[in-house]
Structure 1
Amino acid sequence: MSIVTRFAPSPTGYLHVGGARTALYSWLHARKTGGTFILRIEDTDLERSSQESVDAILEGMKWLGLDYDDGPYYQTKRFDLYKEVVAQLLAEGKAYKCFCTVEEVDAMREAQMAAGEKPKYNGMWRDRTDHPTDKPYVIRFKNPLDGVVVIDDLIKGRIEIANAELDDLIIARSDGTPTYNLTVVVDDWKMGITHVIRGDDHVNNTPRQMNILAALGADIPKYAHVPMILGDDGKRLSKRHGAVGVMQYRDNGFLPEALINYLVRLGWSHGDQEIFSKEELVELFDLSNCNRAPSAFNTDKLIWLNQHYMKTLAPDYVASHLAWHIAEQKLDISTGPALTELVKVQAERVKTLKELVEVSRYFYEDFSEFEENAAKKHLRPVAAEPLVAVQTKLAELNDWSVEALHKAINDAAESLGLGMGKVGMPLRVAVTGGGNSPALDATLALIGKERVLKRISMALEYISNRANEQ
C-alpha cells in the first residue's frame, strides 16, 4: 500500500508552530515510506478565511522546505463534490433533514444538563417523515446508535468511544454549505489518505469521521494524534509566549534548519541524539517514537540549535538567508565584504541572523562616533603612538591579506616594545567603533585598506581633541 499523508490547515491566520510540527511529521512519514504528501487548504469558513492567510501558509511551507507532491487543494472549489456525497447519504437513508430551530436544540441540551445527562441532539427528526415545506433545515448524519468506535491510534494507542456518546452531527447547514466533519471525510476518502496525522484536539472528531467513512464504504485511514505544544509556563502555546508563527521565527533571525530540528524534537526522539539533518530525519523518523504527553517550548534550546546551524552549515547557504535580513534592515552592502565572508567571521559570535546584521554594520557603513565606553577606555592619549605606528605599517602594505595584516600589527607592537593588548584594542575600537569584533586581522581584511586607514585617522583626531580638553 502506498502511503498518502496530508497537511490540512485552515487559512484563518499565520502558520502556527503547532501546525508546522504536524506538517513536518506528515511530510516525514510520507518521505520515509516513499509515499505522497498532499497540501489541502480547508477554507470553508468563509468569514474567517483570507488570501493573506493562504499566502502565509504557503510561504511558511516553502521556507521550511516542506515540499508537497500534490495540491494545494481548496475545499471551496470542491463544494459540488460535497453536495453529491450529502445527497448520496440522504438517498441511502444514512442522513436526514432536521427542522429544529437553534432555540429548540439549545432548550433540548439545557434540559439534558439539568437532568445530569450529557448534552446532545436527541435525534427527534431522525425517523420522521412529516417534513414541513416552508421551514429551513439542516442535514444530519445518522450516527449508529450502538456499538463502539475503536481508534488504534499510532501515538496514543487504543481509544474506544461508544456510539451512544455521539450525536447525529450536522453535515450540511441550512444554506446547503457542508460542515467541517463532512468535508474532511470526503477529501480524505477521495484523496486516498492512508494516514491522518494531526493535533490531539481532533480526537473527538475522529470517531464521528470514521462512522461517516464507514457509511460511505470508504477505507478508514490510520490516525496519529500529536499532543499539543505548551509554553514554558505549562499552558497552551499562544502569542503571550512570544513568536508562535513560523515566519516570525524567520523574521527574528532563525534558520529553517534550526526550527525544523527543534520542532521534530518537540514530541519525538531517537535515543539521545539532538542534532538531525533532514536526511537523517527522513531515515529515522517513526510515529511510534512520538510522545503521548505534551511538550513544552524552550526558546533557549531553539537559540542553541540556531547557533549550531549558523556555524556548521555552508557559509554561502547561511549567507543566502542572511541576505533577506540585510534587505530588511536596509544595510547597503554595495561596498564591503561578500556576505559569505561575513558569515565566516561572525556566525559563531551571534545568536541569530538578525543580530549578525546588527553587529556587522561597520563592515559596510562608516560611523561618525565611537562607542562611548570603549572609546573612553581605549582611545586615550597613550594610544596615539601605537595607532600611528600600526597605521604606518598598514599604509605600506600592498598585500591586504589576513597573514600580512597579522604580521603588520605584530611588527608595530614589537617596534614599540608593547604587548598586543596595547595596540590591538585601540586599533579595534578605531576601525569598528566599538570593543567587540572578530579576530583583528580578519576584521581589517574585510573592512578594506581605505576605510581602515581613514578610521585610524579619525581615532587619532578623537584622541587629540580629548587631550586638548584635559
Structure 2
Amino acid sequence: MTTVRTRFAPSPTGFLHIGGARTALFNWLFSRHYQGVFVLRIEDTDAARSTQESIQAILDSMSWLGLDWDEGPFYQTQRYDLYREHAYRLLETGGAYKCYCTPEELEAKRKQAQAEGKPFGYDRTCRNRTDRPEGKPFTVRLKVPLDGVTTVHDLVQGDVVFPNAELDDLILLRSDGSPTYNFCVVVDDATMQITHVIRGNDHLSNTPKQIVLYEALGYPLPQFAHIPLILGQDKSKLSKRHAAVAVMSYQESGFLPEALVNFLARLGWSHGDQEIFTQQELIENFTLEGVGKASGVFNTEKLLWLNQQYLKEASPARLGDLLLPHLEKLHIHTENNEHLQQIIRLQQERSKTLAEMAETITYYFVDEVTYDEKAARKFLKPESATLLEELLPQLETLEVFEPAALEALFHNFSEQKSLKLGNIAQPVRIALTGGSASPGLFEVMAILGKATVVQRIHRMIAWIRENQ
C-alpha cells in the first residue's frame, strides 16, 4: 500500500483560525491513523499580507495543540523556480499559452459582461494566437478543455460534477512571473507526493481547476476530501461574534490543548456516541467515513464542559505550571509548589478554565479579601460577630489544624449553640474567601493555615461592628 501523505497548508496572513486548526487536525489524525506522513507547508505567496509574526503564530498554535509535522515547514516563496519550470513545461507541450491581454482590456470586458448581465470569464482571445509581440508583458494561462466535464470523486461529498465549459483558462504565472494560488498548490501537492488532500468545503470550487492542472502536467491525482465548515450557533459561518476564532486565544483563556483538540475532532466527525477521546483513541478511530456532510456547530458551552472534564483529570503539578501565567495577570506571584498544588486539588473539579481557576483562588494569596455585597447583607449580622468572637478561642487553641479536626470543632460548636452549621460556617467562609461559595470550608481553612484564618476572622468581626 502507498504511504499515506497528508498536508496542512496555511497562509500566514494572521493567526491560526479555529477552522484551519480543525483542518490541520483531520489531516494529522488521518496520517497518524495510517502510519503516514504529515507535511506542513506555508503558502506565503501573498507578499503584501504574509508576515513572519503570522508564521510564528501558526507554528506556535500547532505545537500547542500537539500537531507535530514530519516534513517541513516548506515555504512557497522558496519554490518559485519550481513553479516557473512547470509553467514553461506546459507552454512547450501546448498545455498552456501566453496571454498578452492587458489588465485594462480585461477590465473593459468584465464591465461589458456586467452591463449585459452575463457572468464574466476570459474569452480566450490569446488561446490560439500565433503572433508573439516582442517585449510585451504576458501571463501564462492553462488550456482548459472546452467541452466535457470534470468530476471530483470526493471521499466526503461524493461525486461532484463540473462542466468544463464553466471553467476559466486560469492564469498560472502573472505578468511579473509570480505564480498563482491554484498552480502552486498543484505543483506542491504533486511534487510532495500528497496522497490525500483534506480541506474545507469552501475549496471544493477550486478542485476541478486543480484536477485539470494535474492532468495537464501528467501527475496522478490525489484523493480529495472536502470537510464541512464550522458554523456559529445561528448556523452562519463562524466569526468573532460567535466565539474566539484564534487558536492561541484559547490558550490565553485557560483551555487545555487536549480539550480543544477533542472538541475540534467532534466538529463534523463522530465515532458512535463517544464524546471524550484521548489522543490515542482519536488516532485509532479517525477515518474519513466518520466525517459527515453536515457542518459542525461551534458550541462554547460544550467546549467549556469538555475542558472541565480534562481539568478534573489533569495532575496538579502540570496545572500548577499552566496556572502561573494566569495568576501573574492578576498580579499574584507564587511558585508551583505543594501549597499551590493543594489549592488546585481542591479547586480543579469546580473550574471550567485555568483563567477561572486563577480568579477564584486569589483569596489564598492576598492580604485582605473583599466581601461580596450580597453575601455580606445576607450573612454578616451583629449576632454573627458575637458567634465568631466565641469561636475564635477554640480555633486558636486547636492543636491539629486539619479538615477532620476543624469539622469536629464546628459541629460541636453548632450543637452547643443549638444552631445549624451554616449559621457559623457561612460567616467564616465569607471572612476567609470573600464570598458565600467555595470548596469545602474545612479544607480551605487547613490550606490557609491557623494564623491567616484567625487574622481574617478578627478582621470580619471588626468589619461587622463598624458596618452594622
User: Partners in 2 of 1:117 and 1:371 — Cα distance?
Assistant: 67
Report deviation, 1:115.
6.0
Pairs within 5 Å for 1:47-196: 47-112=48-113, 118-196=119-197
Deviates more, 1:130-139 or 1:116-125: 116-125
Report deviation, 1:302.
1.5
SS in 1 for 2:141: strand
Report deviation, 1:185.
0.9
User: Partners in 1 of 2:185 and 2:387 — Cα distance?
Assistant: 74
User: Partners in 2 of 1:30 and 1:88 — Cα distance?
Assistant: 32
* Structure 2 residue 375 is the aligned partner of structure 1 residue 379: no
User: Partners in 2 of 1:218 and 1:95 — Cα distance?
Assistant: 16
Pairs within 5 Å for 1:221-300: 221-300=222-301
User: Partners in 1 of 2:132 and 2:232 — Cα distance?
Assistant: 51
User: Partners in 2 of 1:117 and 1:368 — Cα distance?
Assistant: 70
Q: CA RMSD in A?
A: 2.0
User: Partners in 2 of 1:351 and 1:451 — Cα distance?
Assistant: 28
User: Partners in 2 of 1:222 and 1:328 — Cα distance?
Assistant: 47
Pairs within 5 Å for 1:361-400: 361-367=362-368, 369-400=370-401
User: Partners in 2 of 1:115 and 1:419 — Cα distance?
Assistant: 84
Deviations 1:231-251 (A, max 9, x none): 112211112223111112222
User: Partners in 1 of 2:34 and 2:213 — Cα distance?
Assistant: 28
* Structure 2 residue 355 is the aligned partner of structure 1 residue 354: yes
Deviations 1:67-119 (A, max 9, x none): 11111111111112222222222222222211101222233344455666542
**Alignment-mate amino acid for residue 137 of structure 1:** F
SS in 1 for 2:241: helix
User: Partners in 1 of 2:283 and 2:323 — Cα distance?
Assistant: 27
Gaps of 5+ in 1: none
Deviates more, 1:5-14 or 1:307-316: 307-316
User: Partners in 1 of 2:324 and 2:332 — Cα distance?
Assistant: 10
Change (3 A) 1:78 1:390: farther
Pairs within 5 Å for 1:303-314: 303-314=304-315
SS in 2 for 1:203: helix
**Alignment-mate amino acid for residue 407 of structure 2:** H
Deviations 1:42-69 (A, max 9, x none): 1100001111211211121112111111
Deviations 1:7-33 (A, max 9, x none): 111011111111111111111101111
Report what 1:301 is aligned to: 302
User: Partners in 1 of 2:174 and 2:382 — Cα distance?
Assistant: 83
User: Partners in 2 of 1:396 and 1:335 — Cα distance?
Assistant: 31
Report what 2:201 is aligned to: 200
Gaps of 5+ in 2: none
SS in 2 for 1:53: helix
Report deviation, 1:285.
1.1
Report deviation, 1:204.
1.3
Change (3 A) 1:343 1:104: same
User: Partners in 1 of 2:91 and 2:330 — Cα distance?
Assistant: 59
Report what 2:417 is aligned to: 416
Report deviation, 1:122.
1.9
Identity %: 49
Change (3 A) 1:116 1:461: closer
SS in 2 for 1:240: coil
User: Partners in 2 of 1:352 and 1:151 — Cα distance?
Assistant: 43
SS in 2 for 1:223: strand
Pairs within 5 Å for 1:1-40: 1-40=2-41
The alignment of Structure 1 onto Structure 2 pairs a total of residues equal to 467
User: Partners in 2 of 1:79 and 1:330 — Cα distance?
Assistant: 49
TM-score, normalised relative to structure 2 = 0.94
Report deviation, 1:317.
3.2
Report deviation, 1:125.
1.2
Deviates more, 1:100-109 or 1:225-234: 100-109
**Alignment-mate amino acid for residue 258 of structure 2:** E
SS in 1 for 2:25: helix
Contact 1:24–1:264 (CA<8 Å) still a contact in 2? Answer: yes
Deviates more, 1:396-405 or 1:207-216: 396-405
Report deviation, 1:334.
5.0
Report deviation, 1:337.
6.2
User: Partners in 1 of 2:427 and 2:315 — Cα distance?
Assistant: 33
Contact 1:336–1:363 (CA<8 Å) still a contact in 2? Answer: no
Report deviation, 1:335.
10
Contact 2:233–2:298 (CA<8 Å) still a contact in 1? Answer: yes
Report deviation, 1:355.
1.4
Report deviation, 1:324.
2.9
User: Partners in 2 of 1:449 and 1:273 — Cα distance?
Assistant: 46
Change (3 A) 1:457 1:307: same
SS in 1 for 2:6: strand
**Alignment-mate amino acid for residue 359 of structure 1:** T
Contact 2:23–2:198 (CA<8 Å) still a contact in 1? Answer: yes
**Alignment-mate amino acid for residue 245 of structure 1:** A
User: Partners in 1 of 2:440 and 2:337 — Cα distance?
Assistant: 17
**Alignment-mate amino acid for residue 93 of structure 2:** E
* Structure 2 residue 436 is the aligned partner of structure 1 residue 428: no
User: Partners in 2 of 1:35 and 1:387 — Cα distance?
Assistant: 67
Contact 2:324–2:334 (CA<8 Å) still a contact in 1? Answer: no
**Alignment-mate amino acid for residue 437 of structure 2:** N
User: Partners in 2 of 1:116 and 1:466 — Cα distance?
Assistant: 77
Contact 2:317–2:336 (CA<8 Å) still a contact in 1? Answer: no
Contact 1:198–1:224 (CA<8 Å) still a contact in 2? Answer: yes
Change (3 A) 1:328 1:72: farther
Deviates more, 1:360-369 or 1:453-462: 360-369
